[in-house]
Structure 1
Amino acid sequence: MSTQDSPRRAVVIGGGIGGLAAAALLAAEGWDTALFEARDELGGRAGSWEHEGFRFDTGPSWYLMPEVFDHFFRLLGTTADRELDLVPLDPAYRVYSDPSTGLDPLDVRSGRAAATALFESVEPGAGARLDAYLDSAADAYDLAVNRFLYDTYETTAGLRDPALLRRMPRLAPLLTRTLARHVETRFADPRLRQILEYPAVFLGGSPYGVPSLYHLMSHLDLDDRVLYPRGGFTELIRAVERLAEASGVVIETGARVTSITTEAGAATGVELADGRCVSADLVVSGADLHHTETQLVARAEQTYPEEWWRSRTPSPGALLVMLGVEGALPQLAHHTLLFRQDWRAGFDDIFGPHPRIPDPASLYICRPSATDPNVAPPEHENLFVLVPVPADPSLGHGGIDGDGEPRIETAADRVIAQIADWCGIPDLASRIVVRRTVAPGDFADDLGAWRGNALGLAHTLRQSAVFRPRNASRTVDGLSYVGASTLPGIGLPMCLISAELVVKRLRGDRSPGPLAEPARV
């Protein structure tokens, strides 16, 4: 790849996957690229923590949209299979309901035949309805990838394409109806509804708030496969870091950028906390967009000033509980979901007018030791528990071995007791040998996350696609953005695409689809 007649020096702020991917692509384009990460490790939200023989991913743990990863790696002359050891999960995940309902846990397996058979076994007639639902989800996913996700929206040409306009009669209801309504008019069993509605949390929202276009997410876990990169998601970060450095990127950790310098309305570089000034013709910020706009750029040059954020919706915050447990835990799959009975009330606790930590919670458990023996010592298990909570740093901070703030540790105790009760592991608490909690206060302090949110800007209708913050400043030439708060959205694949959008803008490519891949050798 090459970009002609353009400035050659680029600085990238932040070593999350978006920043690393942008740096790698820019270097491959011929830019002299440096990346500065404030923390001592790379990965951002996709971090890693090691303690007493356990290694925990501290963020993303679902490998979805594999074709996006494949495309990114091919842009850099390699493949996902060459860089990662990807393992398909079977079951894709397990679902537990509140024991008071008397409902049995369900193992969800990927593949149309397995998914429709499961739905039919739970609710007669639901198999055929799921078949139609997944046809629609696959169509919506194809539309998203080819028309929406890779569009910089510098023009509306893609949105005015006659082929897209012909689909508007089917598309419009998916934009005006919530995901919950879309699901609940089709399925009656609460477990089936929850299986189809829970992906809203991956999008940083509630099924009662995100548009039903996002039923496309069910194509990913039910039609497609759920994969796991052996070694954990830190291996994905290492792979992108490796490719960035191979392309010539100079990476510095422990290097905090304190401001973006400008002259005559154009970015000229960055200043660092150690007093250095680094000049650049292009600055790409992978820091949290709110932090970038309100802390790194002068007020007169902010595209998204503080008042803009007052009317925006963050994703939920998160209470993370990382547990090293002695002995086996066959009750848990690699991915396990616990769904409370009063489903909507749980989302009201997070997004409603009186936010609080839900109790009981609908929560997610990752047990990577089910698949990967290297993440825990022999005869031990590794658990990563994520509890969606309000995006509010005042909820407090976590800590190691129970030394977080009392409110957070008490909530973690309740979560451990809930897992023990719902999943039939009565001695779980007594078997814990390593414990760490992370809370919204930590997300705010450690990652600069706006309001301590865990994922980015929620995918409400007014924060999706053309309505989402663009990847370039409107007021400062040569300032671009990557990450979960900008186009196209939340999640590792979206962050990879956001990096590609930076390159598309530099090339003047206003097409709605992905960049052409280099010829395979």
Structure 2
Amino acid sequence: KPRVVVVGGGVGGLATAGRLQRLGAECTVLEKNEKLGGRVGEHRWEGHRWETGASLLLLPDVYRRALEAAGGAMVDAVRVDPAYAVWFREHADRGPVVLGGGDRGALRARLELEAPGAFERFERYGACAREYLRAGWPIFIEEDLSFSGLATLPRFLANALSDLWRWPLFGHDAQLRRLFPESARLRALCSFDDLYVGLSPYEAPAVFSLLAAIELDDAGVVDDPPRRDVGVYYPRGGFGTVVDALTRACEASGVALRTRAAVDQVLVADGRATGVRLQDGETLDADYVVVNGDLATTEPALLSETTGAARSAYERERYSTSSITFLWALDAALPQLRHHNVFLAEAGNGDDPFRVAWDDQLPERGRRSRFPGRGFHFYLCAPSRTDATAAPEGKDTLMVLVPTPPLAEDGSDPVDDWIAAARDGVFAALRDSAGCGDVAGHVVHERVIDPREWRDGLGLRHGSVFGLAHGLDQLAIFRPSRRSARVGGLAFVGASTRPGNGVPLVLTSAKLLCAELEDELGL
């Protein structure tokens, strides 16, 4: 049997090892930390449970296929209804915009408060996003260039060429200005998802509106969904159940799983990987090495063959945001909040008061951030709305994610000041936008995960939680390849390689890599 060593036990590494083991390889996973799962983790305290990484389960069929390919079974994925509540401080008396709940009448009424005809334009936007998803997923994510994959292209092009605002490489903000010229609030509502790919709406191409199609199509925002598994889901018991399911599948098929096993070097002879050396000096021979980690950190650190030019290239790459994550246990429940909540800050003046916060949280290349500035956007997860096991009865479990700029190389960022300002700003938004009163007075437990922990604990360069950003120059074929260009027998899987970040894309990365290795390893 060909021996495969997988460096890193995140979901990408586990999914890869599980697939290859069942195909006939002999796989060993080496994870430097005490727990498997990588960025998919959890924190528990006195009956409260928080996600420390992924909190939205999107495209459950991708999870199902990945688990089954590894020999496991799908987790219990529960539909989140509604998908989101989006909160604004201005006109807070109107309440949030509630998305993905299936109540088209309520959504129509709420959008029409922002602008006449807004609901009809929102549906046109959703229909366009659906067409992006219909072709974008098979061709650009799954890299399916077969007849069935390319068969989606004519309809995609017909949509893209029917009107300038539908062109997928048009800027997202520019697209939305054509649809909602009079309402910055509606433009912000339709573009907050860009955060998931590490970009602001002013840099992201319009094609990323397909995220809205993934999250909202099946909830009745637009008709004729292109996939049957769209919508927002949550794994009952938390995202730790996904890691547990992958772990059980790997163990059942014979994968050797080792934690606290930090790899120091990928061993290379005659231009080909031959194994790895651990930090304690132990060596493991391998016919193939797969690295599941932040590419910009792991390749230069583990591979002495990484050239100066390659190191410089990583320094020039654009990185996604980092984040400050607050995990709060409350001694009371906040019924105003939904499971997933987005708070958007109107921190500036003029025709786009939301841009100030975007520019501070995601500064353009070369510009120093003023974060937290006059305000910031953030995401809040209250999982007990869907899964009562996340919090004791009558209490609440809140996970708050505040995007921050990626850390500077020189370590000059005042992270402790960021944390204090972010905490105060979140409490103010909960009071002023959602009417939650004095939330700070109900916090009985707090854990803070800041950018330094992402950088030092999980090896994410600049603490960038989504890895490399997804600008046009780092998208699809322009993203780093899964196969090493410098060393044979070496591959990469994870968020910073193709096709991109997010658990469904990382699981797809594992699937595509295993298909490539199946022939090469003679499986």
Give the superposed CA RMSD: 2.6
Structure 1 residue 102, shift from structure 2 partner: 5.6
**1:259 Cα deviation (Å)?**
0.9
Tell me if structure 1 keeps the 8 A contact 2:128–2:159.
Answer: no
Cα 1:467–1:425 change in 2 (3 A) is same
Matched residue, 2:427: 416
- Contact 1:85/1:230, CA 8 A, preserved across alignment: yes
**Equivalent pair of 1:119/1:126 in contact (CA under 8 Å):** no
Q: Output the amino acid matched with 1:98.
A: R
Q: Which shows bigger deviation, 216-225 or 171-180? A: 171-180
Could you tell me whether the CA contact under 8 Å between 1:395 and 1:407 is conserved in 2? no
Of 5, 26, 37 in structure 1, the residue corresponding to residue 31 of structure 2 is 37
Q: Map 1:62-461 onto structure 2 (within 5 A).
A: 62-76=56-70, 79-80=73-74, 84-99=75-90, 103-111=94-102, 113=104, 117=108, 121-122=112-113, 123-151=115-143, 164=153, 167-168=156-157, 171=160, 174-187=167-180, 188-224=182-218, 225-298=231-304, 300-301=305-306, 305-341=310-346, 342-352=353-363, 353-358=367-372, 359-392=374-407, 394=411, 405=416, 407-461=418-472
Partners of 1:132 and 1:410 in 2: how far apart? 39
Percent of aligned positions with the same letter in both sequences?
34
Q: Which runs of 5+ in 1 are unaligned?
A: 1-6, 399-404, 510-521
Distance 2:107 2:309 in 1: 45
Match of 1:506 in 2: 517
Is 2:37 the partner of 1:26? no
1:451 is matched by which residue type in structure 2? H
CA distance 1:163–1:263, change in 2 (3 Å): same
Contact 1:315 1:456 in 2 (8 A): yes
Report if aligned partners of 1:175, 1:461 keep a CA contact under 8 Å in 2.
no
1:4-23 paired onto structure 2 within 5 Å: 8-23=2-17
Displacement of 1:136: 1.8
Give the 3-state SS of the residue equivalent to 2:40 in structure 1.
coil
1:86 Cα deviation after fit: 1.6
**1:481 aligns with one of 481, 492, 507:** 492
Question: Match of 1:502, as an amino acid?
Answer: L
In structure 1, the partner of 2:51 is: 57
Q: Secondary structure at the residue paired with 1:270?
A: strand
Where does residue 518 of structure 1 map in the other structure? none
Q: Which region of structure 1 is more displaced relative to structure 2, 420-429 or 243-252?
A: 420-429
- Looking at structure 2, the residues matched to 113 and 102 of structure 1 have their Cα atoms a distance apart, in angstroms, of 20
Shift of 1:206: 0.8
Amino acid at match of 2:189: I
Measure how far apart 1:374 and its partner are.
Answer: 1.9
SS of the counterpart of 2:500?
Answer: coil
Cα contact 2:172–2:201 (8 A) shared by 1: yes
Deviation readout 1:63-122 (Å, 9 max, x if unpaired): 112232233234345553xxx122112221111101467653222234594686356544
* TM-score, with structure 2 as normaliser: 0.87
**Could you tell me which amino acid in structure 1 is paired with residue 120 of structure 2?**
A
Write the distance in 1 (CA, Å) between the matches of 2:57 and 2:478.
Answer: 26
SS in 1 for 2:119: helix
Q: Which amino acid in structure 2 is aligned with residue 28 of structure 1? A: R
- How far residue 427 of structure 1 moved from its aligned partner, in angstroms, is 2.0
Q: Residue in 2 aligned with 1:402?
A: none
Q: Shift of residue 310 of structure 1?
A: 2.5
Q: Classify the secondary structure of the residue corresponding to 1:181.
A: helix
Call closer, same or farther: CA 1:161–1:57 in 2, change over 3 Å: closer
Partner of 1:490: 501
AA in 2 matched with 1:308? A
Alpha-carbon distance in structure 1 between the residues aligned to 2:170 and 2:210: 14
Is the contact made by 1:470 and 1:487 (CA closer than 8 Å) also made in structure 2? yes
CA–CA distance in 1 between the matches of 2:146 and 2:64?
Answer: 27
Tell me, in whole angstroms, the C-alpha distance in 1 between the residues paired with 2:394 and 2:155: 58
Conservation of the 8 A alpha-carbon contact between 1:95 and 1:106: yes
SS at match of 1:420: helix
Q: Give the superposition deviation at 1:166.
A: 8.2
Sort the Cα spacing of 1:151 and 1:303 in 2 relative to 1 into closer, same or farther, 3 A: farther
For structure 2, the 5+ residue unaligned runs are 219-230, 347-352
How many pairs were matched up? 490
Contact 2:71 2:249 in 1 (8 A): no
Contact 1:356 1:390 in 2 (8 A): no
TM-score of the superposed pair, with normalisation by structure 1: 0.87
8 Å CA contact 1:17, 1:43 repeated in 2 = yes
Distance (whole Å) between structure 1 residues aligned to residue 146 and residue 84 of structure 2: 40
Question: C-alpha separation between the residues in 2 aligned to 1:198 and 1:364?
Answer: 10
Q: 1:240 to 1:138 in 2, by over 3 A?
A: same
CA distance in 1, matches of 2:158, 2:518: 34
Partner amino acid, structure 2, of 1:316: T
CA contact (8 A) 2:92 2:433 kept: no
Write the letter of the residue equivalent to 2:179.
Answer: R
CA shift for structure 1 position 463: 0.8
My pick for the range that moved more, 238-247 or 256-265, is 238-247
Alpha carbons of structure 1 residues 16 and 314: separation in structure 2 relative to 1, 3 Å: same
AA aligned to 1:455 is: F
* SS of corresponding position for 1:488: coil
CA separation in 2, counterparts of 1:302 and 1:279? 24
| 1:271-294 per-position Cα deviation (integer Å, ceiling 9, x unaligned) | 111221011111111111011211
Q: Is the 8 A contact 1:137 1:215 kept in 2?
A: yes
Query: For the Cα contact (< 8 Å) 2:134–2:156, is it kept in 1?
Result: no
